[in-house]
Amino acid sequence: MILSSKHIDLRQLELNDAVSLLDLRQRNREFLVPWEPVQPESHFTLIGQQEAIEKLRSNWESGTGYGFGIFLRSTGLLVGRITLSNVVRGAWESCTLGYFLDQGMNGRGYMTEAVRLTAAFAFQDANLHRVQAAVMPKNAGSIRVLENVGFRYEGFAEYYLRINDVWEHHNLYSMTRENWSEVTY
């Protein structure tokens, strides 16, 4: 499955993407430190990235998560990753959204396109009712992406996630099937 917009393609990562994913993670290691949980050294190895891809694929098969690589349409370069995780069915039919983009690609609208495509996948293909995201208040770029796509601010959560080994406050955003509208590119 490939999801496409004007500038990017989203597709499930394959094991043969591990070298590209490792390169992306290594190039952006310092850039992502303030925004992510602490990663073990093994994460920044080829085996670590192969394991990450295997986990994404396993989650996809079990229906507990859907992870995509973000690729430039013009070159095929892997520039980020976006994931619907913590999928819960039944009365909730919900998930959480997480993503990162190569530092050199920020400010070009790629992540906005990726979030739009992923929201469409969540509601149309995964048949979910709600997608939620948590963002540190100081992450203005990520907040702008969510708001541009139509996610709504829902509230403030103190000490929500341990990021860079510190319990950080987060703003909570969501989109439901009722307030989502398909975006055509």
Count of Cβ atoms closer than 10 Å to residue 23 Cβ:
14
- Would you say residue 184 has pLDDT above 80? no
Query: Left (φ > 0), alpha (ψ -120 to 50) or beta: where does 27 sit?
Result: alpha
Specify the pLDDT at position 180. 87
pLDDT at residue number 182: 56
Lowest mean pLDDT across 64-78, 94-108, 168-182: 168-182
Residue 127 CB burial class (10 angstroms; 0-12, 13-18, ≥19)? exposed
**Residue 176: per-residue pLDDT:** 94
Provide the mean pLDDT of the chain: 95
CA 22 from centre of chain: 17
CB atoms within 10 A of CB 74: 8
Please provide the distance, in angstroms rounded to a whole number, between the alpha carbons at the two ends of the chain: 17
- Residue 181 in contact with residue 2, Cβ under 8 Å? no
Residue 60 · residue 14 · CB < 8 Å: no
DSSP letter assigned to residue 123: I
Q: Look up the pTM and report it.
A: 0.94
Q: Is pLDDT above 50 for 185?
A: no
Average pLDDT over residues 163-182: 92
Instruction: Please report how many Cα atoms fall inside a 13 Å half-sphere around the Cα of residue 6, on the Cβ side.
Output: 10
> Per CATH, is 2-127 categorized as 3.40.50.300?
no
